Amino acid sequence: MNLTLHVWRQSGPKAPGKLEQYEAKNVSPDQSFLEMLDEVNEHLIKEGKDPIAFDHDCREGICGMCSQVINGVPHGGQERTTVCQLHMRRFNDGDTIYIEPWRALAFPIQKDLIVDRNALEKIMQAGGYTSCHTGGVADGNAILVPKQDADYAMDAAECIGCGACVAACPNGSAMLYTSAKVAQLAALPQGQAEAAERVCAMTEAMQEAGFGNCSNHYECMAACPKGINVKFIAKLNREYQKALFK
Amino acid sequence: MILDGKCPKGPIQTSWDRHRFDLKLVNPANKRKYKVLVVGTGLAGGAAAASLGELGYNVEAFCYQDSARRAHSIAAQGGINAAKNYPNDGDSIYRLFYDTIKGGDFRAREADVWRLAQVSNNIIDQCVAQGVPFARDYAGYLDNRSFGGAQVSRTFYARGQTGQQLLLGAYSALSRQVKAGSVKLFARTEMLDLVVVDGEAKGITVRDLITGEIRTHVGDAVVLATGGYVNVFYLSTNAMGCSVTANWRAHKKGAFFANPCYTQIHPTCIPQSGDHQSKLTLMSESLRNDGRCWAPKKKGDNRHPNDIPEEERDYYLERKYPSFGNLAPRDIASRAAKEQCDDGRGVGPGGRGVNLDFSAAIKRVGEHTIRERYGNLFEMYEKITDENAYKQPMRMYPAPHYSMGGLWVDYNCESNVPGLFVLGEANFSVHGANRLGASALMQGLADGYFVIPYTIANYLAKTKPGLVSADHPECKKSVEDVKAYNNRLLNINGKKTVSEFHRELGKIMWENVGMARSEESLKDAIKRIPVLREEFWQNVKVTGKGEELNQQLENAGRVADFLEFGELMAKDALHRNESCGGHFRVEHQMPDGEAKRDDENYCYVGAWEFKGVDKEPELHKEPLTFENVHLAVRSYK
Amino acid sequence: MRILSSSVGRKILMSITGQLLIIFILIHLIGNSTIFFGPNGINAYAEHLHSLPPLVWAFRLFMLAAIAVHIAYGVTLTLENKAANPGAYAVKRNLKASFASENMIWTGLLVLCFIGYHLLQFTIHGTPDVVVGLDSANRPDVFRMVVTSFGNALISLAYMFAMLMLFLHLSHGIPSFLQTMGWNNEKTIPAFGTGGKVISAILMLAYISIPAVILAGLLKL
């Protein structure tokens, strides 16, 4: 099939950017979206033009590196799917596709479709851990963890940190990302000791990094390629209230 | 030269404990004076950087991704082994040790493997303490599953995302140290050279992938945890950015490359769908717990798999290996799949595939249970192939997955270049000629959490901190060399793209140095790779400049290294005139097609010394001695 | 204080004040519905209410404070949110966000304008349509005032429009309150979403019923 692409091109962080049009010809439905872009790039290189820069790495939907807003939806809108797992059979011959980078104050554009997501790191560094030392910990079975708690923690821990929640959020908020880590650790006995400091530190770091506030649009959950549920934001809010009374 | 692995002598059961006592220590007050550079932030690098930072060393950590959390360890699905024996099914440190040595086809060092088995238990405890949400049973205890190459259930897992959860655990420990100021993180930074001063590793030269700046970081020791090299095959299960570059550039600065021909071809990957394909996707080995591998008995049978009656199916693994059945080790399962396809009984496009059938398991335990166990894998399979594996068998074909070979290290994980330590998949140490499932995560974390924190002190205690500063002539030279190298790449301005060269190299490697190798195929590869390399340096087209974000330049450097490394890999495979584990020479096989080792002549580690591009590398040997297990023919029948 | 400056803390204050306002809306509705009992209903209610001036004023001040907090944080959070999202997408498609959730600030501000007008009209009696007087029992004749004013179709329609804004605001505000207070989980999320809309719709219809009945001529002087 043949497609018309409108891709955001921007040569550097300070440079002005604009949408440019490209034609993708003879695209196979079995190709992944990124493989389609690979081919467009191969043509651009042969013409001596600068290929489209985009982030990608594992190409199996787990590293969280890929980050494109396709036709207005982060990762393209197929349920629980990252861009790298999106296949061209989801599109039709003759389609026009808009491809843009994540857009949020906290994610400055580096080049074309590549953004700087260091702000997410700051949130994690503020408290997304248990302060256990290497070595000198108890046996894995010393503290029992009810299966439902382990499952709940795992549901939250599936977050791949791609930032689609921020890109989708009308407020540019990183609340889903932050809450996933807070909820994971708050659900486990190992995370209890620091639960109060953690939730306060992480939400404050989120604010400082330039992310907006959650106003419960739930757009994040709809865009999340791992289907992280906004119930974790409710959990974060509960944890926060507990912390206020500590 | 005969290499010495410096393994502790005496009874193996106490070897690591005795060795730890013999290692020198660095006084707590002095630790902050030492700077350690850690390259790579996967399980090994992330765990090492976090642990060293916590001990008080001044750590700088580097990764090419935009976050330490994205290292390719994250993609490991199935699980992590440990000798906890929680299920009471007869596991022990000794059994894990034995299984790993045997799984590696007796080509690994006993002492290293023993240590791995011993610390495996600490890893699980450590991860639980970090909040890794391992699977639990209804009583709240840790759950186990079975994996290939073992008859006990010793694999701990977190759904189908164990690697992700373990890496996020290490990443959280790393984040904690970044906050504490003991670790400085340099993301989107790629190592392009090792700085060696007076024969010791004292720094690395890196390229900032955003600005294109080339600069040197100096330190008192360098730790490489930069993963494997199977992207030399172009199509593999590795991430797109995985490369041999850091290892290769260290190799060019004197570090020996050990056993490069030992590559693991994973039996269960989604078959290639066309020439456009950029990578292959692995389906966890855990699927073989419930999935049965079969191929049609009739050649060229084009019927829909569901229409092929039971008696016309060949459950070849169950037939050939009745005691391990579908859980035969990876190298054996891969070769068996290839055999079926070579015999004209493959399924799917091009006949390169076998069936992995869940219908029996679904009948036995119900679709719900199968969905619970592997739901995310079935979902991923459907996304890629558009087929529903609950209703029809998955199609599977082997794909390059892991490299057992790597930079040569001694028992302390130190390479032959003093001060250069190599961890995880980047070194060669514990998996021999074949790695068992769920052992890579174990090794990465063992090296990072529980080995390097002890062994690096032994080196640092003998050196004065801050010996080399950034304006040392070696540093300046290194920066100049890297700049010149990159400029050369940028100025060729030929006609073919980097990917085209990578694809061509991959084709040569897969056909000649892949799952089955012969003297003829290897010699052919050794002839063709230099020709392709020559063409690359004449005719590659790299657009853009060096002083900007330039993904073409990044890839060009990586492919240039693969074009040199591929030749060494073929040479190693040619020199190793035996079959063992993942290295299968068609000349050396049993009558039934199993790998035939030659313990008399090849029971050693082959470590290669770089002598220059287009020059013959020099082979050094480290003999392997087996005192605790008997060298035996590996049998899974 | 953490609660006054942090992202989550301020949201909690917003949702608590929002809920106080909803409680007021409920009480006010119950009071207003005495109009259906004719002059004897609402005029008696008004007199009863005004017989306790300190309590009335305390209540008024409390509500004003709640409104002030709700609005102040509503405005600052919205400004922060706008800044955090430069909104530069050439194409943006929402999967879940609704007109109501995206326009809380505007529906809120319109409701605020209405409150101002409503106070000016029926509390301060500062608009020309207002008829002030006493009824036969010497009570303030609220019934006459309301029926006269709402007899004007334009005033009634403006009132109904304001109630529509209130509906939009509450249809997102009620489930949002439950989420921000943390009283939410996977199963309740859709239920609260629907519940919020239903309650808001009931409130809107109940309020609109007064001018509607007057306009229809069912409630006359």
What is the 3 state secondary structure string of B46-68?
HHHHHHHHHHCCEEEEECCCCCH
Q: Is residue C107 part of a domain?
A: yes
Over residues C74-96, mean pLDDT: 94
Partners of chain B (3+ Cβ pairs below 8 A): A
Give the model confidence (pLDDT) of B421-460 as tens digits.
999 999 999 999 999 999 999 999 999 999 999 999 999 9
Give helix then strand counts, H and E, for chain C: 9, 0
Q: Tell whether A79 and A152 lie within a shared domain.
A: no
Cα dist. B112→B117, B430, B437, C73, C174 in Å? Answer: 9, 6, 18, 61, 61
pLDDT of B292-328, one tens digit each?
Answer: 999 999 999 999 999 999 999 999 999 999 999 999 9
pLDDT at B349: 86
Rounded to 5 degrees, φ, ψ at C61 are -65, -40
Task: Let me know whether A89 and A159 are in one domain.
Answer: no
Q: Does A96 touch chain C (CB under 8 A)?
A: no
Name the catalytic one among B69, B154, B207, B330: B330
How much of chain B is helix, strand and coil, in % rounded to 5? 40, 15, 40
Number of neighbours of residue B518 by Cβ within 10 angstroms = 16
* CA of B565 vs chain A CAs: smallest distance (Å): 22
Q: How far is B329 from chain A (nearest CA, A)?
A: 24
Establish if C92 belongs to a structural domain. no
What does the pLDDT read at residue B271? 96
Residue A231 and residue A127 in one domain: yes
Same domain, A83 and A134: no
Q: Show residues of chain B in contact with A132, CB under 8 Å.
A: 126, 129-130, 173
3-state secondary structure (DSSP) of residue A3 = strand
Helix axes B93-103, B110-130, angle to 10 degrees: 120
Mean pLDDT score of chain C, rounded to an integer?
95
**Per-residue confidence (pLDDT) for residue A245, from 0 to 100:** 87
- Residue C90 within any structural domain of the chain: no
The answer, yes or no, to whether residue B128 has pLDDT greater than 80, is yes
- Asked if the structure places residue C55 within a domain, the reply is yes
For residue B416, the one-letter residue type is N
What does the alpha-carbon distance between residue B67 and residue A66 come to, in Å, rounded to a whole number? 12
Phi, psi (rounded to 5 degrees) for B601: -105, -20
Contact flag for C and B (3+ C-beta pairs < 8 Å):
no
**Predicted local confidence at residue B114, as pLDDT:** 98
Contact B74 A130 (CB under 8 A): no
> Quick check: B421 and B255 in contact, CB under 8 A?
no
Measure the CA–CA gap between B358 and B360, rounded to whole angstroms.
6
End-of-domain residue from the set A72, A94, A111:
A111
Distance from CA of A17 to the nearest CA of B (A): 16
State how far the alpha carbon of C187 is from the alpha carbons of C175, C191, C192, in Å.
13, 7, 9
What is the arithmetic mean of pLDDT over B378-406?
Answer: 96
Picking from A106, A170, A203, the nearest residue to C97 by CB comes out as: A170
Cβ distance B205 to B191 under 8 Å?
Answer: yes
- Of A78, A173, A217, A220, which to mutate for an interface test with C (greatest number of C Cβ within 10 Å)? A217
Q: β-pairing, A3-9 with A96-100? A: parallel
Best probe of the A interface among C10, C92, C180, C187, by most A CBs < 10 A, is C92
Q: Domain with A15 in it: what CATH number?
A: 3.10.20.30
Domain total of chain C? 1
Asked if residue A202 and residue A143 are part of one domain, the reply reads: yes
Listed in sequence order, the residues at least 6 apart from B68 whose beta carbon sits closer than 8 Å to its beta carbon are B41, B46, B61, B171, B174, B175, B185, B187
Contacts of B538 (CB under 8 A, 6+ apart): B492, B494
pLDDT given for residue C52 in this prediction? 85
| Residue B579 scores a pLDDT above 80 | yes
Q: Identify each DSSP E strand in B392-467 by its residue range.
A: 394-403, 406-407, 420-422
CA atoms of B449 and B445, how far apart (whole Å) = 6
- A103 plus A187 within the same structural domain: no
pLDDT at B594 over 90: no
- With tokens 């069912």, the residue in question is C218
> Is the pLDDT confidence value at B330 over 80?
yes
Residue C213: φ, ψ to 5°? -65, -40
Q: Token pair 């190459």 is at which residue?
A: B149
Q: What is the CA radius of gyration of chain C?
A: 20
Look at strands B35-39 and B58-62 and give their pairing.
parallel
Query: Least CB-CB distance to A130: which of B131, B179, B240?
Result: B131
Quote the pLDDT of residue B152: 95
Residue ending a domain, among A111, A136, A152, is A111
Q: A touches which chains (3+ CB pairs under 8 A)?
A: B, C
All residues at 6 or more sequence positions from B403 whose CB lies less than 8 Å from its CB, including other chains = B228, B229, B230, B260, B262, B263, B264, B425
d(CA B432, CA B580): 9
Q: What pLDDT score does C3 carry?
A: 84
Cα A180–Cα A182–Cα A185 angle in degrees, nearest 5 = 105
CA distance B148 to B286: 8
Question: Rounded to the nearest 5°, which phi and psi values hold at B622?
Answer: -120, 110
Among the partner-chain residues B124, B126, B164, the one whose CB lies closest to the CB of A134 is: B126
Percent of chain B with pLDDT over 70: 100
CA nearest to B49, candidates B182, B243, B143: B182
| CB neighbour list of residue B591: distance below 8 Å, 6 or more residues apart | none
Residue B336 half-sphere exposure, CB side, CA atoms within 13 Å? 25
Q: Which residues of B touch A118 (CB under 8 A)?
A: 66, 187
Q: Which residues of C touch A238 (CB under 8 A)?
A: 182
> What confidence tier does B78 reach under pLDDT thresholds 50, 70, 90?
confident
User: Strand, helix or coil at A99?
Assistant: strand
Known catalytic membership, residue B330 = yes
| DSSP designation for A87 | B
B487 CB burial (10 A radius; 0-12, 13-18, 19+): exposed
**Residue B149 corresponds to which tokens in the numbers above?**
């190459």
Chains that touch C (3 or more CB pairs under 8 A): A
Q: Is the C-alpha dihedral spanning B122, B127, B129, B133 positive or negative?
A: negative
3-state secondary structure of B632: coil
B133-168 pLDDT, tens per residue?
A: 999 999 999 999 998 889 999 999 999 899 999 999
Poorest-pLDDT segment among A58-62, B376-380, B510-514, B606-610:
B376-380
Residue B635 binned pLDDT confidence (cut-offs 50, 70, 90): confident
Q: Which residues contact B5 (CB under 8 A, 6 or more apart)?
A: B109, B111, B112, B410, B411, B605, B622
Q: pLDDT tier at B636 (50, 70, 90 boundaries)?
A: confident
**A240 and A124 inside one domain:** yes
Q: Which residues of A are less than 8 Å from C107 in CB distance?
A: none
Residue of C nearest to A96 (CA): C91
Chain B CB contacts of A190 under 8 Å are 128-131
Ranges in chain B annotated CATH 3.90.700.10: 271-398
- How is residue C71 written in tokens? 């609005």
Tell me what pLDDT residue B364 has: 96
The pLDDT of residue B480 is 98
Whether the Cβ atoms of residue B451 and residue B115 lie closer than 8 Å to each other: yes
Half-sphere exposure of B524 (CA within 13 A, CB side): 14
State the pTM of this model: 0.97
CA distance B221 to B34: 8
How confident is the model over C105-115, as pLDDT tens digits? 999 999 999 99
Residue A131 and residue A58 in one domain: no
A vs B, Cβ pairs < 8 A, gives 216
Across chain B, mean pLDDT equals: 96
pLDDT digits (tens, 9 = 90+) for B490-539: 999 999 999 999 999 999 999 999 999 999 999 999 999 999 999 999 99
Model pLDDT, residue B515:
94
Do C91 and A71 make contact, defined as CB atoms within 8 angstroms? yes
pLDDT, tens digit, for every residue of B337-373?
999 999 999 999 889 999 999 999 999 999 999 998 8
**Residues 6+ away with beta carbon under 8 Å from A178:** A123, A202, A203, A206, A236
Say how far apart CA B520 and CA B589 lie, in whole Å. Answer: 16
Last residue of a domain, one of A111, A132, A166: A111
Q: Are residues A98 and A166 in the same domain?
A: no
Chain C residues near residue A75 by CB distance under 8 angstroms: none
Q: Bridge-partner residues for B403, per DSSP?
A: B263
- Residue C64 inside a domain? The answer is yes
Looking at chain B, the domain(s) classified CATH 1.20.58.100 span 477-597
Residue C116: which CATH number? Answer: 1.20.1300.10
Q: Compute the distance between CA of residue B403 and CA of residue C170 in angstroms, rounded to an integer.
A: 59
Answer yes or no: is pLDDT of C87 > 80: no
* 3-state DSSP assignment of residue B609: strand
Structural domain span for residue A84:
3-111
Return the pLDDT at B197: 98
Is residue C91 assigned to a domain? no
What's the CATH fold of domain B271-398?
A: Flavocytochrome C3; Chain A, domain 1 (3.90.700)
The Cα of C132 is separated from the nearest Cα of chain A by a number of Å equal to: 43
Asked if C88's CB is within 8 angstroms of A217's CB, the reply is no
Count of CB atoms situated within 10 Å of the CB of C10? 21
* Number of independent structural domains in chain A: 2
User: At the top level of CATH, which class does the domain B477-597 belong to?
Assistant: mainly alpha
| Cross-chain Cβ contact A172/C84 below 8 Å | yes
**What domain range is C153 assigned to?**
2-83+97-215
Chain A residue numbers with beta carbons less than 8 Å from the beta carbon of C179 are 216, 230, 233-234, 237
Q: Tell me, what's the pLDDT at B593?
A: 83
As averages over each run of 10 residues, the pLDDT of chain A (246 residues) reads 98 96 96 97 96 97 97 96 97 98 97 98 98 95 97 98 98 98 98 97 97 97 97 98 91
Q: How far is A169 from chain C (nearest CA, A)?
A: 8
